[in-house]
């Protein structure tokens, strides 16, 4: 398993790669890098696949365009198409977690000729809402939904950048299965919930005494070093394009994902505490008619491919063998 930087026609991309065979691209979320897929890269390579986990634009060793409007899902999908070309391939199966899942769904929707199947972790395929997303998320005088908190430049990145190690430790723990089971309105600290205007996001999250057992100190320090180098602005810029994505996606209204798909989520994922999320998952076959499986992994949280590496790898491999 090697790490390198590859030049494409859109940006230079840092990639983790291993194996030979049919191409599988693995897209990370926030705050992660391609290293989050280290277990699956090895498992896929052993099984006869060419596994590539890129740092998405704005992360790790990949290019970080300077304008916030250069972080739409269209830019991200364009990077993946350009990466396939730079690798000398014609098609790939695309796999994603968190924001990487959103990008994977859109890649399969926009370019089924280049992405022959899709695997999504933690974020289901969602329809295009009737109004811009910023008008849906809740806020009042005291607090606002975390996505709205992420909108203003110089806000969340300043809070997160004061102590990168503490920020990542809190975010990773609070979204993991180790934080415990949660249901809508149960009061469990949730990084995907409401943010007090007077405190910011991190103040309401627990600071764990130790890292989760599935995250080694070496892997954690590698993540810390990546964000100390890149900062958080690139990752936050994806959230700052939600309304612009909505505008650009109007041509896709009514379109469904036409390639085979697999979905999985942990039953302790904090995203399940967002009102309406369970119904969105249940209704997904209307948007993904070739969805072949929807799996709930007990005791797991939002970092599914790291918390349950063997189970996730086996589900992906079982899906790939049936294509």
**Catalytic residue from among 28, 35, 75, 302:** 302
Cis ω before 31 (30° cut-off from 0): yes
The conformation of residue 55, written as its DSSP 8-state character, comes to: P
* 304 and 266 Cβ atoms separated by less than 8 Å: yes
**Catalytic residue from among 55, 79, 98, 269:** 98
CA 131 to chain CA mean position, Å: 23
Rounded Cα distance, 236 and 157, in Å:
8
* 302 and 176 Cβ atoms separated by less than 8 Å: yes
CB burial class (10 A; 0-12, 13-18, 19+) of residue 165?
Answer: middle
Q: How far is CA 69 from CA 65, 93, 237, 246, 305, in A?
A: 9, 27, 8, 13, 29
Pairing of strands 291-297, 261-266: parallel
Tokens of 119: 């695997």
Rounded Cα distance, 314 and 240, in Å:
35
Based on the residue annotation, tell me whether 302 is a catalytic residue of this protein.
yes
Place of tokens 């079982």: 318
Query: What angle, rounded to 10 degrees, do the helices at 217-230 and 164-175 form?
Result: 120
> Strand, coil or helix: what is 217?
helix
Any idea which residues carry the catalytic annotation? Answer: 98, 302
């Amino acid at each position: 398993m090697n790490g390198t930087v590859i030049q494409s026609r859109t940006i230079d991309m840092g990639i983790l790669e291993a194996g030979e065979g049919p191409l599988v691209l693995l897209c990370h979320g926030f705050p992660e890098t391609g290293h989050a897929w280290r277990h699956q890269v090895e498992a896929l390579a052993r099984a006869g696949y060419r596994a590539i986990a890129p740092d998405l634009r704005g992360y790790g060793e990949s290019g970080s365009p300077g304008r916030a409007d250069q972080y739409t899902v269209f830019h991200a999908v364009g990077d993946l198409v350009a990466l396939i070309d730079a690798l000398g391939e014609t098609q790939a199966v695309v796999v994603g977690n968190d924001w990487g899942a959103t990008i994977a769904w859109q890649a399969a929707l926009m370019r089924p000729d280049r992405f022959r199947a899709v695997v999504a972790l933690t974020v289901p395929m969602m329809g295009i809402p009737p109004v811009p997303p910023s008008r849906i998320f809740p806020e009042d005088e005291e607090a606002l939904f975390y996505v709205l908190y992420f909108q203003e430049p110089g806000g969340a990145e300043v809070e997160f950048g004061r102590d990168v190690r503490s920020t990542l430790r809190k975010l990773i723990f609070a979204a993991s299965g180790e934080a415990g089971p949660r249901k809508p309105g149960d009061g469990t600290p949730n990084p995907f919930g409401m943010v007090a205007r007077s405190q910011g996001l991190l103040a309401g999250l627990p600071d764990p005494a130790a890292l989760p057992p599935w995250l080694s100190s070496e892997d954690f320090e590698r993540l810390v070093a990546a964000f100390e180098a890149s900062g958080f602005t690139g990752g936050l810029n994806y959230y700052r394009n939600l309304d612009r994505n909505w505008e650009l996606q109007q041509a896709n209204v009514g379109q469904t994902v036409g390639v085979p798909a697999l979905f999985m989520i942990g039953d302790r994922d904090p995203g399940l505490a967002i009102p309406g999320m369970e119904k969105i998952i249940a209704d997904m076959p209307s948007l993904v008619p070739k969805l072949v499986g929807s799996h709930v992994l007990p005791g797991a949280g939002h970092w599914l491919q790291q918390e349950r590496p063997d189970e996730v790898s086996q589900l992906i491999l079982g899906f790939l063998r049936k294509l």
